[in-house]
Amino acid sequence: MLEAYIPVVLFIIVAIGFAIVALLMAWLVRPERYNKVKLEPYECGIETRGDARDRYSIRYYIIAMLFVVFDVETVFMFPWAVIMHKLKLFGLIEMVVFLFILLVGYAYAWKQGALEWA
């Protein structure tokens, strides 16, 4: 009975061993000296201006929320596509209604000017 667990135990041992070896290798090849640029909050090469807690325009948050909403809603189409052959006509009508609601929401956001950057 315990023979069935041997592959699982081996997999766990290999996973833990790989993690330990990867951390040790990263520790061995890391740079020891830090410089002024490395200690800055952003390493992109652009000089920071102002405070990191500045206020952002509400448009930034609206665009971000719209992206999340439409992105998450379109992710719902993948499970539907996988079982489309089982759902037949009902599934097709359901997805058309879903896409219509998504399109109405997109058109409303566009008409309100929420997608304008400036």
Domain boundaries, the chain: 2-111
Cα dihedral 29/35/37/41 (nearest 10): 80
- Do 36 and 65 form a contact (C-beta atoms < 8 A)? no
Tell me the H-state helices in the chain. 6-29, 58-75, 77-82, 84-111
Judge whether residue 118 has pLDDT over 60. Answer: no
Two tokens, residue 3: 């023979």
Q: Are 105 and 65 spatial neighbours (Cβ–Cβ below 8 Å)?
A: no
Task: Work out the mean pLDDT of the chain and round it to a whole number.
Answer: 85
CB-CB neighbours of 106 under 10 Å: 16
Quick one: CATH architecture of 2-111?
Up-down Bundle (1.20)
> Of 73, 80, 78, 118, which Cα lies nearest the Cα of 100?
73
pLDDT in tens, 2-27: 888 999 999 999 999 999 999 999 99
State the amino acid at position 36 in one-letter form: K
Each residue's pLDDT tens digit, 52-69: 677 878 888 888 888 888
CA 25, CA 39: separation in Å to the nearest integer? 23
DSSP state of 17: H
In this prediction the pTM is: 0.49
